Each structure stands twice: as structure tokens, then as C-alpha cells.
Amino acid sequence: MSFFSKLNQLGRTVVSAAKQVAARVIDFMANDAEKLIGKVKQVWSKVKPFVERMQAPLRTMAAATDSVPILGKIIRVVAIGVETLLALENSPVLKGVEKAILYAARKAKEIETSIKNGELSVLITPQEYEEALGNRRQFRAMEREADTFDQDVRYKFDIASAINDLGIAEYEVEKAILGEPEDFQHYLRLRAAQKLLRILRTKLVVAGTIDGLLEEDWFLVRVASDLVKANPELQSDTALRFDEILRSRTGKNLQSFIFEELIAAWKYEAKTLATSVQDETRLIASKTVARNRLRLALKDQGELSSEEAKELALLEAEVPKLDETLKELNTRKNDVCRYADASEGYLQMLEKTEAELEAEDRSYVFEEGEQVGRIIMEAAQNGTPFAKLSHEDQSLVSDFANVFYKDAEQRMATVLEITA
């Protein structure tokens, strides 16, 4: 079972048949996205500029914060209190992670100093990354024993672990963005982790101190760190807590926070394909005018110069090929747009109640959602182009997609921050 199949099972309980169908369709699209719109590398090359922009240092916000003491409350808890913590507890568990806690203390000081200097730098070096990975293994291995600590000690332990995770998550997201995702599942996890880290980075610079992060923020750090792992695991209690925090902070549930990235990427793919269609159309028009001019000259004059004859021969061969390319681009653009708009519908079926969608005059999605989902999944699995579907199936998918066209456009603009 894929990570995203588990994700849909771990989220809030799906009650209605319509929501069950929506979850299956969204899961299928995440797992089989390359069958629907092509290789992730092609999509990545187009959305990467927007993703990289999210990684830019928040210098303006950070510079506007007030000066803060180098050592805030959390720094004192983790950095100054480490020796006392270890000595008082005299615990083999804590002794086992002493090195990891001291590393987290050093990184906490660096983050706090970075904020005071008007920027936010939490990136770690490759050497520190390897050290942090070892620390994470130690922290995770000892968490069960840490449950026996009193509340104050457990708090110190969790904060040290989270600070260690923050460096790992930032490093892995940065590395992934400089490279490219392996597949769409990797892409979705990368973007989810990146969005979580951005929320946290913004809180840090607004607060002007590492103390600006609450206990649930450190929980999100851990989630982000786990999401960018090669084989992430999201336990049911973690998923439910994650879902609750997302709903309160973003108004989105667990599925929409992660899966909306797929819709945004597809819509932007359709947008770039539309631009390619326009460019190809202009090129064909130009070539056709030149060809027709030479055809007319040949008809009127009876012959052409050798140079003109060579040009006409090239154009006679080139224009039909360009026409075929244009047809393929148009087909691809329309298919991608339909899949993206239909996906928006299924995502809203997970986000909203049936009453909410009915109030928006969208009860259609409950009446036809299962049938449309079946058509999409079968077409993708069998490699059937949209044009080869029956007229009835084409109408069903198109009608479903058209209901959510504008919403999908808005989601793309919001997720990728496109303003023009």
C-alpha cells in the first residue's frame, strides 16, 4: 500500500459513499499521475521557479523584528539546562542521547542568533546532516523510555529532538529542490514539508525568537522531517493530530493540504501547454502564409527559382508536421486541464460536507462522482486518450470538470502564488 493510500485511511473517518469514491480517485491520481499527464520531471521543470521562491530567506520580515536576547526561554531550557537535566535525572536514556541534546542546543543558539541578525538560517552542512540523522535515530529509539519522564523533562527532550528534526527537514527539502522529485508521490511529500517549514519560519521571524514556536509547532517540525524521508510513516494518532492543526491554522484538512499540490501542478502544466499552443499556432500561421505565397507564385509564374523551390519543398513537408504537433499539444492541454479540474471536484468532496456542496448548487458531484471517477481511472490504466472515450463518457467527465474549473484556477494561483 502506498503512503497516500495509508494517508487517506489515517485521516478522518470517511463516512459517505461519495467521500469514499473521492478518496479512491485522489489516491489513484497521486499514484498514477505520470499515466495521466506525463513525467514528473517535465512538470517539475515548470513549477520549480515557484517552489524555489518559497525557499528564499525571509530577510525583510526578519529585519523588521525587534532585537531579542540571544538566549530565549527555549534556549535556556535546551542549552543551559542540558547539564542539569542530565545530572538530575541520572538516566541511562538521557545519557545515551547526551551528544544529540548538546548538538540540538548548539543549533538552537545559532537559530536564535540568526533571527537577531535580521535573517533566518536553519540550514545545516552535509557533515551536520549526517550527525543529525544519527541523532534522530537515537531520539526515536529512546522515545518510549522518555515517556517515563516527568512532564518538564519530557518537554526538554521533545524540544531537543524537534530542533534536530528542523535541520534535517530544511536540509532535505533544499537538496530535493536543487535536484528533482523521483515521482509525484515524492513531489507531494516535498511540497507538503516545504509548506510546513514555511509556516514555521514565518512564525519564527514574526516572533523574533525561537520562543515563538509552540509545542504543536515543534510537532509540525517532526511531521515535516518524516514527510521528506524516503519511506515516511504517518501513524493514525499523528495523522489525526496533524489534521486538527491544519484545520485550525489553514482551514484545510490533511488530504487537501497534501493533494492540492497535484492540482496546482497540473493546472500550471495546462497553462504552459496553452502558451505552447499559442506559439505553435502563430508559427503555423507564419509558415502557412509563406507556403501559400510560394504556391501562388508557382501557379502564376509556372516555375520558381531554385532557392524558392527548395523553400517551398521544406514548407510543404514542415507545415503538416507542425499541424500534427499542434493537435497533440491541444489534446494534451485539454486532457491535463480536465483531469486537474475533475481532481479539484474530488478534493472538495473530501474538504466539504455534502450540505456545503449542495448549498453551492453542486449536488451533481454526488450524483455522478462515482461514474466519472471510474472513467478517469480506467482511461488512465488502459492508456485511453480522452478523444477515444465514448461521447457519453466525454460529456460526463467534461461536465464534472467544468463545475470546478474556476476553483482549480484559484487553487493553482494560491498554492503557487501566481499573480499574473
Percentage of the chain lying above the pLDDT 70 cut: 80
173 lies in some domain: yes
234 lies in some domain: yes
**pLDDT over threshold 80, residue 28:** no
Number of domains making up the chain: 2
Q: Which of 20-34, 217-231, 382-396 has the lowest mean pLDDT?
A: 20-34
DSSP symbol at 228 = T
Averaged over 90-100, what is the pLDDT? 69
62 lies in some domain: yes
Do 151 and 228 lie in one domain? The reply is yes
313 lies in some domain: no
List the helix and strand counts (H, then E) for the chain.
21, 0
Specify the pLDDT at position 314.
94
Averaged over 67-94, what is the pLDDT? 50
Do 62 and 147 lie in one domain? The reply is yes
C-alpha cell at 417: 502564488
Do 201 and 267 lie in one domain? The reply is no
Do 269 and 217 lie in one domain? The reply is no
Do 362 and 276 lie in one domain? The reply is yes
**pLDDT over threshold 80, residue 396:** yes
Do 101 and 236 lie in one domain? The reply is yes
**Could you tell me which residue, 220 or 38, shows the higher pLDDT?**
220
Percentage of the chain lying above the pLDDT 90 cut: 12
Do 213 and 280 lie in one domain? The reply is no
Specify the pLDDT at position 355.
84
Do 202 and 267 lie in one domain? The reply is no
Do 234 and 195 lie in one domain? The reply is yes
**Could you tell me which residue, 147 or 200, shows the higher pLDDT?**
200
List pLDDT tens digits, range 146-169. Answer: 677 777 777 777 888 888 888 888
Do 222 and 146 lie in one domain? The reply is yes
pTM for the whole structure = 0.74
Residue 380: domain span = 262-284+321-416
* Residues in CB range of 369: below 8 A, 6 or more apart: 18, 21, 22, 25, 345, 346, 349, 400
C-alpha cell at 10: 489515517
408 to 189, 246, 273, 303: CA distances (angstroms): 20, 20, 16, 55
**pLDDT over threshold 90, residue 292:** yes
Q: Which of 28-37, 138-147, 377-386 has the lowest mean pLDDT?
A: 28-37
194 lies in some domain: yes
**pLDDT over threshold 50, residue 66:** no
Confidence of residue 420 (pLDDT cuts 50, 70, 90): very low
26 lies in some domain: no
Do 225 and 278 lie in one domain? The reply is no
The per-residue pLDDT of the chain, averaged, comes to 78
Specify the pLDDT at position 253.
81
393 lies in some domain: yes
Boundary (domain end) residue, out of 198, 227, 251: 251
Instruction: Indicate if the alpha-carbon torsion angle 251, 215, 66, 193 is positive or negative.
Output: negative
Specify the pLDDT at position 126.
87
Specify the pLDDT at position 119.
66
Q: Which residues of 278-308 are buried (b: 16+ CB within 10 A; e: fewer)?
A: eebeeebeebeebbeebeeeeeeeeebeeee
290 lies in some domain: no
C-alpha cell at 375: 472513467
Do 238 and 278 lie in one domain? The reply is no
Find, among 246, 252, 346, the residue nearest to 27 by Cα: 346
Specify the pLDDT at position 9.
58
